Amino acid sequence: MRCHGATVTRLTLIPPSLKLWGTKLTNGPDEALAKGNEGSGDTMNDNGWDDSAAAWIADMGELGDFGRRYVLDPVMVPLALAGRPKAMLDVGCGEGRFCRMLASQGVAVTGIDPTRALIDEAQARHPGGTYIEADAVKLPFDGGAFDLVVSCLSLVDIADAAAAIAEMARVLEPGGRLLIANSNGFNTAGDGEGLGWARDANGAKAHFRIDHYLRERKQWLAWRGIRIVNHHRPLSTYMKLLLAQGLRLTHFDEPRPVADAPAARATDYVRAPWFLVMVWAKG
């Protein structure tokens, strides 16, 4: 997951040969997204999530960060409920916030995350839900077990996105839907020294700088006690992986903040949309 609304410190780029798990994030054009899940078979110790779990839980609270509360939730919740789902899987559920939102609408929810502390927190906050410590690249469910699968800002955290997307498609029943919220590729291409928002002589944000958009890479992000690995990939990578599973795109959006969002923060999300949202149908 990426986190929005925090000043993020860009740290060392990780060599492509080093296998690390992913994370899920959310926040805004000046912040990091934070917590997702997945991996290439390694443990969360490799990407900072075990050490960052407590800080992540404190940072999210119950309402979530700016990006979730004012940009994604108003779009994601109606889209999730549109098909009247009976059984939802949240891949990279973190502390379980999105699961609780859907459960309050009568949906049977299951959340998976590879970070034990986050799963424990999710279960404690929602005893009626099912929360499992598991890897997105090897989901512990039969094929076609869910009519809705959700990945909310977790793909940027996953090292092996191809395997994770294949697993999401496998556990989706025919006619089911895969709902994805992800960081825009130009957002993650703006993580790095000398990138992101450039400021004018008065300190105002002038424009958003990116580089090496087509070069996939891993990099450490840090803010408010959280230090995790994120993965930059161009949008074309995700589109090819999803199409390869025979899925059909039925919805695409780059949502803007809702009208009552704090204006000072909302402006950044309009100038450089932080997220994209997609719905893919199986069969």
Q: What is the CATH number of the domain that holds 225?
A: 3.40.50.150
Say what the pTM is.
0.85
The model's pLDDT over 94-110, given as tens digits with 9 standing for 90+, comes to 999 999 999 999 999 99
Tally of domains within the chain: 1
Q: How many residues does the chain have?
A: 283
Residues 12-36 as b or e (16 or more Cβ within 10 Å = b): eebeeeeebbbbbbbbbbbbbbbbb
Tens of pLDDT, residue by residue over 23-58, are 333 333 334 433 333 333 333 347 899 999 999 999
Report which DSSP code applies to 36.
B
Could you read off the pLDDT tens digit of each residue along the chain, which spans 283 residues?
A: 544 544 444 443 433 332 222 333 333 333 443 333 333 333 334 789 999 999 999 999 888 999 999 999 999 999 999 999 999 999 999 999 999 999 999 999 999 999 999 999 999 999 999 999 999 999 999 999 999 999 999 999 999 999 999 999 999 999 999 999 999 999 999 988 899 999 999 999 999 999 999 999 998 988 889 999 999 999 999 999 999 999 999 999 999 999 999 999 999 999 999 999 999 999 9
Amino acid at 264: A
Residue matched to tokens 């930059």 = 232
pLDDT at 223: 85
